[in-house]
Amino acid sequence: MIDDLLLDAALVDLRHLSTEQQKNKCRLGSWKWSQNLERRPVLAFDGFGKSHHGLCVIPNALDETTQLLFAHACLTEFVELPHLTSMHRQNHQFSGIWKKACKSFPQNPSEFPLLAKLSWSALGYHYDWNARDKHSPVPESLQQLGKKCAAACGMKLAAEAIIINFYKTKSAMGGHLDDAEYTMDHPVISLSLGSSCIFVIGGQSKDEPPLQILLRSGDIVVMGKVSRRCYRCSRIPDSL
């Protein structure tokens, strides 16, 4: 259960920060996606160490309705051509995967076999071995989301490359650097939808101790400045 996981004193739970964790974070300001939503705090994590300068989090940034809209788009609009997905890499040409899943398994669409093979979708520029080329346009909704999030953290961003990762229970993304871009001057922005996960960000080498943050659906992480160049990974434990 999630309550057992929270017993880990090193884990940063954005909604229940310890006294020491409160000292290490500061509030940069506030942010809201649309006029009819409440403002959310923008938290900076510079105090957790020099490697975390430029690391910001917006807890509960999107309301449930907006989360569902983005999640639905991820399973419909954002996995259709001309966007590139892991399915295309496996030579599985398809269209309307979510519609087919709902028709085949109306009680639990996630049981649709093809969905198990869907692990990512790339929008805009994508990294293809050693070649970088334009694959598809960046949806306006994601462009605006990135721009607003970056601005709330005192940064600038015109999104050119987006990766949508589809995680299953107990799945994870290994430690990595997002260093395929021509420049690392702009932030990486991550939106969590669905299951809670543990986001881990270390330093510029794997020897530095990592910071573990519990992210829930609707949370947004902005990695700019020094944190942009740090190793990171994520996992979805079966206890969440």
Distance CA 188, CA 181 (A): 11
Half-sphere exposure of 224 (CA within 13 A, CB side): 19
User: What gap in Å lies between CA 207 and CA 201, rounded to an integer?
Assistant: 12
178 known member of a binding site: yes
176 assigned ligand-binding residue: yes
Q: CA separation (Å) from 154 to 43, 67, 93? A: 12, 24, 41
Query: Beta-strand (E) ranges in the chain?
Result: 11-13, 26-31, 40-44, 55-58, 84-85, 120-128, 131-134, 161-165, 172-176, 188-191, 197-201, 211-215, 220-223, 232-235
Phi first, then psi: give them for residue 122, nearest 5 degrees. Answer: -115, 130
Residue 81 and residue 95: Cα distance in Å, rounded?
8
Alpha helices in the chain (DSSP H): 2-5, 19-24, 64-75, 86-89, 97-104, 113-117, 140-152
Both tokens assigned to 57: 């989090």
Known binding-site residue numbers: 176, 178
The binding site for Fe cation consists of 176, 178
